[in-house]
Amino acid sequence: MTTERAPIDQALRALALHAEAMKPRHLRALFAEQPRRFEDFSLVAGNLLLDFSKQRVTRQTLTLLHNLAKARDVEGWRRRMRAGEIINHTEHRAALHMALREPPDAHTAHAPEITREVAQSLARMREFCAAIHSGAWQGHDKERIRDVVNLGIGGSDLGPRMAVRALAAFQRPDLRVHFVSNMDGADLAPLLNRLNPRSTLFIVASKTFGTLETLSNARTARAWIDSSLPASLTHQARENAIARHFVAVSSNLPAAAAFGIPAEQVFAFRDWVGGRFSLWSSVGLSIALAVGFSNFEALLAGAHVMDEHFIQAGASQNLPITLALLDIWNVNFIGAASHGIFPYSQSLELFPAYLQQLEMESTGKSVDRQGQPLTLKSCPILWGSSGTNGQHSFFQLLHQGGQPIPCDFILLKQADFPLPGHHIHLLANALAQSAALAFGQTPAEARASGIGEDLLPYRTFPGNQPSTTLLLERLTPHTLGQLLALYEHKVFCQSVLWNVNAFDQWGVELGKQMAKRLLPCLEDDTEFATIDTADTLDASTRGLLAALKK
């Protein structure tokens, strides 16, 4: 799919010229000039309010950004994604995560068998959740399942882990859900020490069922269950007993079967669901178990609300398109190299980590869809933490470090765990930080507040730090679904604007291959000097290997 080059170049040139004119402009002046800036630069969709008035933009900036969106055919790509076209061209796959949250009676643009498959998959998940929650599904010696451990990494971990954390207020009291991703024994071992094998169920979540970290942890978990069984069991009885403690979520059914998980305990999903977009698929089984299936359905329904908004709203009213355009503006025209994500919600503390994969694995690329080097920088470095904690740590850099770092502030109107007096303090801090970052403190203001001349340089705040504030009504499954789908679509729009494929991740492969090559050099009984490949290694790796083998 090619788009015409000339309008794109023209739009970029116009933005570059405009950016020159905008360089000396301060947010103070922009607010002074446009008294209705909040009304002009805020949008609503579902239960989300997006205030981007503290971005360093004018009406003209937005017009020019929207010209770029037109030239890049963002709306056309949106249609292609929804229709299930092969937009992931390097893996020859569609990207149909929206289909996973489409109600069966929705007007669909993709093949009817996809709707059928999604419904079947949800029905199986519902049935399994009911069996676990009712106690009908038991461990090998009839104990009720009390602990569920999701073994997965990347997209098979970050989304579900974040969602379960975010929805702590909806957590079922009768089941604990844990997440283990790292192959470092320090992740799995302490958890196993606390669990009872007779009442523990493992979900081996891996799209490929070939990921080293997940398979290492799954093998250890299997051995742990095995070692808890009576020695007298026959081979078959032992296999059957182990199987009571494992289910798999994968698109590689043969590999899950080879691991010993019976076919009826494998929850499949298709290759048109990218790992980092997969929490809506059976990868979300851990979420459904943690908060109940109806809450999982509410999460899907919330995402669908945002899908509909993304598909139907015109570009200037469209939250994902607006967020993506602001990112392009900040990265390519203001010169931001990083982007801070600050939920003022402890329940959303894992949201920045989830977004890191969603965004950086999707657009951390420097080759375009035609295989040519990008002429613009793409994805900024994403980072962040719960806002109130960040304030007492790295916010100093945001206020006085001298680098433009756009920030997303995420606020909940109502607390999910209300305690007297807490929430208003939290909100006051969030509002204060975004205002302080935007408007700073001039030397005159510092002086007026009684600061002496000697401290003036230290007590002056330049401001002009751009930020966006997202206000969520409440942190419910439905609102969380909207929030996640908003960022998913933002990332997709960014990828279109930068002309990169958002759905592959070849960059992570090289290191994996090298690790396989190095493994024999580290095995206990291997003499380092006898390893053939060692001769071809670089001096640093050889030196470190030698030190490790000593």
Active site residues: 361, 392, 512
DSSP 244-297: TTEEEEES-HHHHHHTT--GGGEEE--TTS-GGG-TTTGGGHHHHHHH-HHHHH
How far is residue 419's CA from residue 492's CA, in Å, rounded to a whole number? 38
Nearest to ligand F6P of 211, 391 (CB atom): 211
Please select the residue that binds ligand F6P; options are 150, 181, 200, 206, rule is CB under 6 A.
Answer: 206
> 């990207």: which residue's tokens?
95
- Sites for ligand F6P among residues 355-374 (CB under 6 A): 361
Task: Choose the binding region for ligand F6P from 79-87, 161-169, 207-215, 470-478 (rule: CB under 6 A).
Answer: 207-215
Please select the residue that binds ligand F6P; options are 161, 178, 244, 276, rule is CB under 6 A.
Answer: 276
Task: Choose the binding region for ligand F6P from 206-214, 304-312, 323-331, 477-485 (rule: CB under 6 A).
Answer: 206-214
What 3-state class would DSSP assign to 138? strand
The pair of three-digit structure tokens given for residue 122, joined into one six-digit string = 């949800």
Least separation in angstroms between CB 181 and ligand F6P: 9
Task: Choose the binding region for ligand F6P from 162-170, 203-211, 375-383, 393-401 (rule: CB under 6 A).
Answer: 203-211
Least separation in angstroms between CB 178 and ligand F6P: 18
Nearest to ligand F6P of 154, 302 (CB atom): 154
217 binds ligand F6P (CB under 6 A): no
What number of chain residues touch ligand F6P (CB under 6 A)? 14
Least separation in angstroms between CB 100 and ligand F6P: 16
Which residues have a Cβ under 8 Å from the Cβ of 250 and sit 6 or more positions away? 204, 205, 206, 207, 208, 209, 256, 266, 267, 268, 269
Task: Choose the binding region for ligand F6P from 173-181, 208-216, 404-412, 418-426 (rule: CB under 6 A).
Answer: 208-216
User: Is residue 346 a contact partner of residue 162, using CB atoms and an 8 Å limit?
Assistant: no
The pair of three-digit structure tokens given for residue 183, joined into one six-digit string = 């192959």
286 binds ligand F6P (CB under 6 A): no
Closest CA to 151 of 173, 177, 175, 133: 177
How far is residue 319's CA from residue 298's CA, in Å, rounded to a whole number? 21
Please select the residue that binds ligand F6P; options are 84, 275, 284, 440, rule is CB under 6 A.
Answer: 275
How far is residue 461's CA from residue 449's CA, in Å, rounded to a whole number? 13
The pair of three-digit structure tokens given for residue 488, joined into one six-digit string = 């998913």
Closest CA to 155 of 87, 79, 213: 213
Per-residue binding letters, 136-165, with ligand F6P (x by CB under 6 A):
-----------------xxxx---------
207 binds ligand F6P (CB under 6 A): yes
Least separation in angstroms between CB 264 and ligand F6P: 21
Nearest to ligand F6P of 154, 440 (CB atom): 154
User: Is residue 353 a contact partner of residue 162, using CB atoms and an 8 Å limit?
Assistant: yes
214 binds ligand F6P (CB under 6 A): yes
* Number of alpha carbons in the 13 Å side-chain half-sphere of residue 181: 11
212 binds ligand F6P (CB under 6 A): no
Least separation in angstroms between CB 359 and ligand F6P: 13
Nearest to ligand F6P of 24, 511 (CB atom): 511
Least separation in angstroms between CB 209 and ligand F6P: 7
Q: Which helix (H) or strand (E) holds 488?
A: helix 477-498
Q: CB burial class (10 A; 0-12, 13-18, 19+) of residue 375?
A: exposed
DSSP 21-53: HHTT--HHHHHHH-TTHHHHTEEEETTEEEE-T
How far is residue 273's CA from residue 503's CA, in Å, rounded to a whole number? 9
Nearest to ligand F6P of 222, 309 (CB atom): 222
Task: Choose the binding region for ligand F6P from 118-126, 201-209, 232-240, 334-342 (rule: CB under 6 A).
Answer: 201-209
Strands (DSSP E) contained in 407-511 are: 407-412, 467-472
495 binds ligand F6P (CB under 6 A): no
Nearest to ligand F6P of 277, 333 (CB atom): 277
208 binds ligand F6P (CB under 6 A): yes
Nearest to ligand F6P of 138, 208 (CB atom): 208
Per-residue binding letters, 90-129, with ligand F6P (x by CB under 6 A):
----------------------------------------
Which residues have a Cβ under 8 Å from the Cβ of 14 and sit 6 or more positions away? 64, 67
- Sites for ligand F6P among residues 503-542 (CB under 6 A): 505, 508
Question: Where does this chain bind ligand F6P (CB under 6 A)?
Answer: 153-156, 206-208, 211, 214, 275-276, 361, 505, 508
